[in-house]
């Protein structure tokens, strides 16, 4: 993997991550790739890159690595960390079932 800290055309900081074929193979084999921005002289922030065949597979990989993900309502974009809201796709702010159930 190539990790570089540069500036974009507007002069703002930009981090470039270049993945090799080996990295891509690791991601598709459900092996996360960890990056620590402190290695580039930036404030410490760890990033986990995961891969998958579709969004559901990526979400499963993220949950396996970092724990349950919150439910984000597709209508109002509010976030709920209650597992039943995610399970049933329910938004307490909208008082409606706005997301796809994940049963």
Tell whether 50 and 75 lie within a shared domain: no
For residue 4, the Cα-to-chain-centroid distance in whole angstroms is 21
Q: Is the pTM of this model over 0.85?
A: no
Q: Structural domain tally of the chain?
A: 2
pLDDT tier at 83 (50, 70, 90 boundaries)? confident
Strand pairing class (46-49; 71-72): unpaired
Query: Are residues 17 and 60 both part of a single domain?
Result: yes
35 and 75 housed in the same domain: no
11 and 30 co-located in one domain: yes
Same-domain pairing of 35 and 83: no
* pLDDT score, position 77: 92
Domain encompassing residue 97: 70-103
Find the Cα–Cα–Cα–Cα dihedral 22, 25, 26, 27, rounded to 10°. Answer: 120
For the stretch 25-55, pLDDT in tens is 998 888 889 899 898 888 889 888 988 888 8
Query: Of 66, 69, 65, 64, which is closest to residue 86 (Cα–Cα)?
Result: 69
């Amino acid at each position: 993997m190539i990790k570089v800290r540069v500036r974009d055309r507007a002069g703002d900081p930009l981090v470039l991550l270049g993945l090799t074929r080996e990295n891509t193979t690791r991601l598709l084999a459900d092996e996360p790739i960890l990056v620590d921005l402190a290695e580039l002289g930036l404030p410490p922030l760890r990033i986990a890159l995961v891969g998958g065949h579709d969004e559901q597979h990526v979400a499963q990989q993220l949950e396996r690595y970092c724990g349950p993900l919150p439910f984000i309502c597709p209508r109002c974009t509010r976030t709920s960390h209650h597992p039943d809201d995610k399970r049933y796709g329910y938004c307490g702010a909208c008082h409606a079932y706005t997301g796809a159930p994940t049963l």
